[in-house]
C-alpha cells in the first residue's frame, strides 16, 4: 500500500471540529400519524465509511443508530396514511392547491434551517464530499421550489372549461392514494424527495422509508415534517426492508410504489402486492451507461467528461458512465490522458478541501470491486493506472481496467463504484450491439465530431435508452428534463413536471353543452360551490 492510502484515514484531532460528531446520535423517534413516537426496541447501528486512526489501529466510526421497527409499526404507519387519505375524502386530498402549496412552503422554510446538520450527516453516513453534499441539499430545495412553480402552472392550465363536440368539461389532476416512497443510498435526500414532495403536493398521503445508508440525515427534518403537514399525511419508518416494507406491500393498501434502487429489490417488493394492476410503480433502477469515444472526438473534452461521468461520487451514481468504448486508433492516448486526470483527483475525507475520492459506505464493497478486477485480470485485462485498485479498509482507489471483453463480469455487471472498464473497438457496430443487447437502457454518451457518424449512432439508440448525450457525460439534470430508462432500468418518467403527473390521474367533469347545463356549471363556478369545478387562477 502506498503512503497516500495508508495515511488517508485521520486521527480524531485531524478532523475539523466543526464536522466532528462528539456523541453518537441514537435515534429512537419515528413519525406516525403526526406523532414522533419513541421506539424502545432494537436499534440498528449506523456505521460511517470513515475510520479513525487510534495509535496503530483504525476504528470504524459508529455515528449512531436508528430504530429497527417491525411490521407492527409499519402497518401502523399505513393505517395512519390510509386514514388521512380516507378513500380520497380526507382533509389532505380535498385541500385546495393553494393550501397544499402553503404546507410545502412551510416545510421548505423549516428544512432550510437544518442544512448544516443534514450536510454533515451526508458526509459521515455515505462519504459524500462536502461540496457534493451541499449541492445535494441545495438541489433538493431548488427542486421543491420548482415543483411548487410547476404545480401552479399545471393548475392554471386546468382552471378553464373546454368545449368539444357538443360537450363541455373541466379536466384536473387528482391524487392516487397512499404512496410508499423509498430512495437510494447515493442520493438519500435528493432522490427520495424527488418522489416524496410531488406525491405530497398532489394530495397523496405518504409512507417514507429512508435508504439503507443515509438514514440518520433525515432525523433533523423529522420535526419539520411533523409540524408542517397534517397528521398521517407523511409517516416515516425505519427498519429492515423485507419486514417493514414487505408487510406494507402484502397488505394491498399501497396505491403508488416509488422506489429508486435495484431491479431485484423492486421485483421482490412489487411481487408481494396482491392487486398488481391497482399498484402504480415509479422506479429508477440499475444501469450500465456506456460512453462511446470516436476517433475524431475532442479528446480533452471526452476525457474530462468521462472522468466526471465515471468517477464523481466514486462512480456511485445510477447515471455514471460504467463502461467506456474507446476507438482503437485513440485508445492509448485516451488512457494516458485519463490516467493523468485520475492522478490529479485527491483522495481524502469528505470534509477535506478539493477532495474527490472518498471511502465507500456499502459493507463488502471494496472486496466486491477487487473481485471484479481480479475476474477481469483472469480473462486478460490489466489495471493500467498507477495505484489502480489499491485499497485500504473502506477506501478503493479508482482502477482503470483494459482491455475489457465480454467474458469479464465488468462487461455487463453494474459495478457502482470506482472501477472504469475500457473496451477498445474498431467497428461502430460493437458498442451499438452492446447497447441493443443490454438488459439496461438508461443513457449513453457519444463523443465525436463527425456529424454523420454521430447521427447514425445516435439514431441507433433512440429506441434503446432514455437519453443520448452528445459530447457530455450521462446525468439526470437539469431536473426539468425527463429522467427515465428502458428495459430493466426504470418504470415511468420523472422530471419536475412529470413527477406531478405520475403521482396523479386526470379526472374530468363533463356535460352536454345545453343551456341548462351551462347555467348550472356557471352557477357552481360563480358561487364557488365546488372545489373541483372552479376557474380560480392561482397567482
Ligand atoms: O443515482 C442517480 C441519480 O439520479 C443521478 O443523478 O446524474 O444528477 O448525478 P445525477
Confidence check: pLDDT of 497 > 70: yes
Q: How confident is the model at residue 3 (pLDDT cuts 50, 70, 90)?
A: low
Q: Give the distance (Å) from ligand 1 centre to CA of residue 312.
A: 10
pLDDT at 257: 98
Q: Give the distance (Å) from ligand 1 centre to CA of residue 242.
A: 26
Q: Any idea which residue has 442544512 for its cell?
A: 115
Ligand 1 pocket test: pick from 138, 187, 291 the residue with the most ligand atoms within 8 Å of its Cβ: 187
The beta strand positions in 234-279, using DSSP E, are 234-236, 256-260
Q: How far apart are CA 297 and CA 307, in angstroms?
A: 15
Confidence check: pLDDT of 1 > 80: no
Of all protein residues, whose CA lies closest to atom 4 belonging to ligand 1?
476
Containing H/E element for 401?
A: strand 399-402
Across the range 428-444, mean pLDDT stands at 98
Q: Give the distance (Å) from ligand 1 centre to CA of residue 190.
A: 9
| Contact yes or no for 139/480 (Cβ under 8 A) | no
Q: Give the distance (Å) from ligand 1 centre to CA of residue 184.
A: 10
The CB of 187 under 6 Å from ligand 1? The reply is yes
Contacts with 397 (C-beta within 8 Å, 6 or more apart), sequence order: 5, 347, 357, 387, 388, 389, 390, 391, 418
Cell of 438: 443490454
Distances (CA, A) of 484 to 271, 286, 423, 464, 492: 22, 11, 26, 12, 6
- Ligand 1 nearest-atom number relative to CA 186: 1
Express each pLDDT in 457-495 by its tens digit.
Answer: 999 999 999 999 999 999 999 999 999 999 999 999 999
Distances (CA, A) of 439 to 123, 184, 186, 466, 483: 33, 20, 22, 13, 18
The CB of 475 under 6 Å from ligand 1? The reply is yes
pLDDT at 242: 84
Express each pLDDT in 218-268 by its tens digit.
Answer: 999 999 999 999 999 999 999 998 899 999 999 999 999 999 999 999 999
pLDDT at 539: 82
Q: How far apart are CA 313 and CA 212, in angstroms?
A: 17
Strand partners, 399: 419
The CB of 476 under 6 Å from ligand 1? The reply is yes
The CB of 484 under 6 Å from ligand 1? The reply is no
Q: Give the distance (Å) from ligand 1 centre to CA of residue 474.
A: 9
- Ligand 1 nearest-atom number relative to CA 187: 1
- Ligand 1 nearest-atom number relative to CA 139: 8
* Length of the chain in terms of residues written: 539
Please, how many CA atoms are within 13 Å of residue 243, restricted to the half-sphere of its CB? 10
Q: Phi first, then psi: give them for residue 186, nearest 5 degrees.
A: -80, -25
Q: How far apart are CA 409 and CA 414, in angstroms?
A: 9
pLDDT at 27: 98
Express each pLDDT in 286-333 by its tens digit.
Answer: 999 999 999 999 999 999 999 999 999 999 999 999 999 999 999 999
Residue (of 58, 59, 76) closest to 67 by Cα position? 76
Across the range 360-381, mean pLDDT stands at 98
The CB of 186 under 6 Å from ligand 1? The reply is yes
Average pLDDT over all residues of the chain: 97
Q: In this prediction, what percent of the chain has a pLDDT beyond 70?
A: 99
Express each pLDDT in 144-182 by its tens digit.
Answer: 999 999 999 999 999 999 999 999 999 999 999 999 999
pLDDT at 538: 87
Cα radius of gyration (the chain)? 25
Express each pLDDT in 92-108 by its tens digit.
Answer: 999 999 999 999 999 99
Express each pLDDT in 322-365 by its tens digit.
Answer: 999 999 999 999 999 999 999 999 999 999 999 999 999 999 99
Q: Give the distance (Å) from ligand 1 centre to CA of residue 476.
A: 5
Q: How far apart are CA 168 and CA 21, in angstroms?
A: 62
The CB of 191 under 6 Å from ligand 1? The reply is yes
Strand partners, 437: none
Residue 490 CB coordination number (10 Å): 26
Ligand 1 pocket test: pick from 128, 143, 191, 263 the residue with the most ligand atoms within 8 Å of its Cβ: 191
Residue 444 CB coordination number (10 Å): 27
The CB of 195 under 6 Å from ligand 1? The reply is no
Ligand 1 pocket test: pick from 142, 258, 317 the residue with the most ligand atoms within 8 Å of its Cβ: 317
Of all protein residues, whose CA lies closest to atom 6 belonging to ligand 1?
476
| Contact yes or no for 46/63 (Cβ under 8 A) | yes
Confidence check: pLDDT of 22 > 90: no
| Contact yes or no for 159/122 (Cβ under 8 A) | no
- Ligand 1 nearest-atom number relative to CA 474: 7
Q: Give the distance (Å) from ligand 1 centre to CA of residue 468.
A: 15
Q: Give the distance (Å) from ligand 1 centre to CA of residue 53.
A: 33
The CB of 319 under 6 Å from ligand 1? The reply is yes
Q: How confident is the model at residue 4 (pLDDT cuts 50, 70, 90)?
A: confident
Distances (CA, A) of 193 to 22, 189, 272, 527: 29, 6, 24, 38
Of all protein residues, whose CA lies closest to atom 2 belonging to ligand 1?
318
Amino acid at each position: 500500500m502506498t503512503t497516500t492510502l495508508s495515511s488517508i484515514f485521520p486521527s480524531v484531532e485531524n478532523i475539523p471540529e466543526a464536522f466532528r460528531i462528539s456523541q453518537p446520535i441514537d435515534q429512537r423517534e419515528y413519525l406516525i400519524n403526526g406523532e414522533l413516537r419513541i421506539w424502545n426496541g432494537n436499534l440498528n447501528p449506523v456505521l460511517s465509511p470513515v475510520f479513525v486512526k487510534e495509535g496503530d489501529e483504525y476504528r470504524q466510526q459508529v455515528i449512531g443508530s436508528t430504530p429497527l421497527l417491525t411490521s407492527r409499526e409499519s402497518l401502523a404507519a399505513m393505517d395512519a396514511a390510509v386514514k388521512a387519505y380516507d378513500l380520497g375524502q380526507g382533509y389532505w386530498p380535498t385541500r385546495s392547491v393553494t393550501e397544499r402549496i402553503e404546507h410545502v412552503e412551510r416545510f421548505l422554510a423549516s428544512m432550510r434551517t437544518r442544512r448544516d446538520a443534514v450536510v454533515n450527516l451526508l458526509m459521515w453516513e455515505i462519504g459524500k464530499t462536502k461540496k457534493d453534499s451541499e449541492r445535494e441539499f441545495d438541489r433538493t430545495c431548488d427542486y421543491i421550489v420548482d415543483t411548487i412553480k410547476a404545480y401552479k402552472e399545471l393548475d392554471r392550465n386546468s382552471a378553464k372549461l373546454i368545449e368539444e363536440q357538443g360537450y363541455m368539461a373541466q379536466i384536473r389532476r387528482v391524487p392516487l392514494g397512499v404512496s410508499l416512497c423509498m430512495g437510494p443510498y447515493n442520493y438519500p435526500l435528493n432522490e427520495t424527495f424527488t418522489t416524496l414532495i410531488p406525491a405530497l403536493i398532489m394530495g397523496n398521503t405518504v409512507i417514507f422509508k429512508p435508504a439503507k445508508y443515509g438514514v440518520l440525515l433525515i432525523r433533523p427534518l423529522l420535526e419539520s415534517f411533523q409540524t408542517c403537514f397534517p397528521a398521517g399525511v407523511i409517516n416515516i419508518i425505519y427498519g429492515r426492508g423485507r419486514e417493514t416494507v414487505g408487510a406494507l406491500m402484502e397488505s394491498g393498501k399501497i396505491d403508488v410504489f416509488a422506489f429508486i434502487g435495484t431491479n431485484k429489490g423492486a421485483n421482490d417488493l412489487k411481487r408481494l402486492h396482491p392487486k398488481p394492476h391497482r399498484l402504480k410503480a415509479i422506479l429508477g433502477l440499475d444501469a450500465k451507461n456506456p460512453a462511446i469515444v470516436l476517433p475524431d472526438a475532442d479528446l480533452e473534452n471526452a476525457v474530462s467528461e468521462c472522468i466526471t461521468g465515471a468517477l464523481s461520487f466514486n462512480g456511485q451514481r445510477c447515471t455514471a458512465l460504467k463502461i467506456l468504448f474507446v476507438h482503437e486508433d485513440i485508445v492509448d492516448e485516451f488512457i494516458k490522458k485519463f490516467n493523468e486526470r485520475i492522478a490529479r483527483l485527491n483522495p481524502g475525507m469528505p470534509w477535506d478541501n478539493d477532495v474527490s475520492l472518498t471511502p465507500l459506505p456499502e459493507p463488502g464493497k471494496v472486496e466486491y470491486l477487487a473481485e471484479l478486477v481480479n475476474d477481469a485480470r483472469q480473462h486478460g485485462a490489466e489495471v493500467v493506472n498507477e495505484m489502480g485498485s489499491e485499497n485500504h479498509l473502506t477506501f478503493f482507489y479508482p482502477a482503470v481496467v483494459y482491455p475489457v471483453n465480454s467474458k469479464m463480469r465488468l462487461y455487463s455487471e453494474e459495478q457502482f463504484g470506482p472501477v472504469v472498464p475500457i473496451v477498445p473497438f474498431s467497428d461502430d457496430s460493437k458498442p451499438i450491439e452492446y447497447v441493443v443487447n443490454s438488459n439496461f437502457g438508461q443513457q449513453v454518451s457519444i463523443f465525436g465530431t463527425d456529424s454523420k457518424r454521430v447521427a447514425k449512432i445516435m439514431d441507433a439508440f433512440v429506441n434503446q435508452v432514455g437519453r443520448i448525450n452528445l459530447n457530455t457525460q450521462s446525468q439526470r439534470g437539469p431536473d426539468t428534463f425527463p429522467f427515465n430508462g428502458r428495459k430493466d432500468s426504470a418504470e415511468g418518467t420523472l422530471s419536475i413536471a412529470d413527477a406531478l403527473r405520475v403521482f396523479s390521474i386526470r379526472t374530468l367533469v363533463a356535460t352536454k353543452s345545453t343551456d341548462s347545463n351551462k347555467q348550472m356549471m356557471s352557477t357552481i363556478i360563480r358561487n364557488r360551490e365546488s372545489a373541483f369545478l372552479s376557474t380560480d387562477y392561482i397567482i
